[in-house]
A = this chain, B = another copy of it.
Amino acid sequence: MPGPIQSIERAAAMLRLLARGSGQYGLAEIAASLGLPKGTAHGILRTLQRVEFVEQDQESGRYRLGAALLHLGTSYLDANELRSRSLNWADALAARSGQEVRIGVHHDGAVLVVHHVFRPDDTMQTLGVGAMLPLHATAFGKVLLAYDASLSRDRELTSLTRRTIVSPQALERVLTQVRASGWASEAEECMPGEASIAAPIRAFGGLVVGAIGVSGAVDRICDPASRPKPSLVSQVASAAEAVSRALTD
């Protein structure tokens, strides 16, 4: 069996690099980061620019991601069956709970948000779709970790707040609890002052393909002892079951 096409893999690596950090890199930086000669990197960038996957800043000469990717990303969402079948339930959960709602899937060692409903009364809206959230420090991520044995657990657990779980043993205990209860939560493990609750979305045969849940200020999501509010847990679990049924019809 022949291997993958080298120049396409290199182009993809280049795009991933441009999606990180400052989002703008010079030719020499890109070449160095990917271990490629400048001539090679330049040839790939010239082609990516021609297909509008990359743009070059006229003044600084630096490269960044191009507009064509936005359309491809949106098209991915439009065709994403999990998302299209979950939309109504997600909106209903937002309306009933009064909290912001997300649907996430596992992608590249993180939670990729494929749908995001704002809190109905928020005016400063930020685009949550496309964001990558940590697996170990969000309720969404804990759900995905709990039910997907293929996900790597030997990745180092980064401390994001004072409450982030960084011990693999402690995380494993939490995941056992998630499997027992059928939902996950976290309070101020990802961001200070913020909490989340999530439950698994299952496809045929019970396979977990995503997570749906709510998040927001910790005093809206949890009681004063930082425990998730039972009414919210119930609403999230119901929404997850409804979405799962929609997926298997």
Contact = CB atoms under 8 A, between A and B. Distances in A.
Contact of A107 (B19, B52, B118): B52
Interface string A48-73: 10111100000000001111111111
Contact of A129 (B11, B64, B70): B70
A19 B72 CA distance: 6
Nearest to A4: B47
Contacts of A124: 91
B52 A18 contact: no
B123 A79 contact: no
Nearest to A10: B8
Contacts of A9: 47, 50-51
Given A72-B65, A76-B66, A79-B24, A123 B91 contact: yes
A114 interface: yes
A105 B91 CA distance: 29
Nearest to A129: B127
Given A95-B123, A129-B70, A75 B19 contact: yes
A111 B16 CA distance: 25
Contact of A76 (B16, B65, B76): B65
Contact of A2 (B16, B20, B43, B107): B43
12 contacts: A4-B50, A4-B51, A5-B7, A12-B68, A23-B79, A24-B79, A64-B79, A66-B76, A70-B130, A73-B76, A74-B130, A91-B125
Interface of A: 2, 4-5, 7-9, 11-13, 15-16, 18-20, 22-24, 43-44, 46-48, 50-53, 64-79, 91, 95, 105, 107-108, 112, 114, 117-118, 120, 123-125, 127, 129-132
